[in-house]
């Protein structure tokens, strides 16, 4: 009887581990992870902007944005990225189906349609991906991502730190990119 119980427990545990994440669970986990990331980065950017201004905030982001993203990923048990068609850091460049989804969202915006709050996609490898659109919804974002006069200290700092920067020229309400959260099965 004891062996039967151990085998049953082992099989049940294996099925639970191997079972795919439900859409409901993926939405909850993706929403929590993306909100934590946006709160963490947004709070740090806002604090730096108020204390140090845009040039120092740019330096802060260059040095810390990826590590803060990794920290949130560890805390939420996910893999998380910020992606864009007009990236500042090449690491955040959208490719493949991520790029296709951003292009679809761009067309929706251009056609006056509302963006979804999120999208969920199942991957062949068993992971579930949660996507959240990122919109320019705060004036502070425009300090570094809006129209930047070319000869200002900020423009020079952007060019020096990110020679291939594409992340300027945004207006309030523009689609900036996405948060992508990979959720293992």
Check residue 79 and give its pLDDT.
96
Give me the sheet containing 79-83, strands edge to edge: 79-83, 175-183, 128-135, 119-122
Check residue 85 and give its pLDDT.
97
Give the total number of structural domains in the chain. 1
Check residue 139 and give its pLDDT.
84
Q: Looking at the domain assignment, is residue 13 inside a domain?
A: no
Q: Which domain holds residue 39?
A: 20-183
Check residue 20 and give its pLDDT.
61
Q: Looking at the domain assignment, is residue 15 inside a domain?
A: no
Check residue 120 and give its pLDDT.
96
Check residue 19 and give its pLDDT.
53
Check residue 141 and give its pLDDT.
86
Q: Looking at the domain assignment, is residue 12 inside a domain?
A: no
Q: Which residue has the tokens 């730096």?
A: 48
Query: Which parts of the chain sit beneath pLDDT 70?
Result: 1-21
């Amino acid at each position: 009887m004891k062996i039967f119980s151990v085998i049953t427990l082992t099989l049940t545990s294996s099925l639970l581990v191997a079972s795919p994440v439900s859409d409901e669970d993926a939405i909850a986990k993706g929403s929590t992870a993306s909100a934590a990331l946006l709160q963490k980065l947004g709070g740090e950017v806002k604090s730096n902007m108020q204390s140090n201004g845009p040039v120092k905030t740019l330096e802060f982001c260059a040095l810390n944005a990826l590590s803060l993203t990794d920290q949130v990923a560890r805390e939420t048990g996910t893999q998380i990225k910020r992606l864009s068609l007009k990236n500042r850091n090449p690491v955040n460049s959208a490719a493949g189906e991520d790029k296709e989804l951003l292009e679809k969202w761009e067309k929706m915006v251009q056609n006056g349609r509302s963006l979804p709050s999120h999208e969920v996609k199942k991957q062949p490898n068993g992971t579930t991906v949660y996507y959240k659109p990122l919109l320019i919804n705060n004036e502070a974002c425009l300090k570094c991502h809006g129209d930047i006069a070319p000869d200002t200290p900020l423009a020079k700092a952007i060019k020096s730190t990110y020679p291939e920067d594409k992340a300027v020229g945004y207006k309030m309400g523009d689609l900036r990119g996405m948060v992508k959260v990979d959720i293992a099965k």
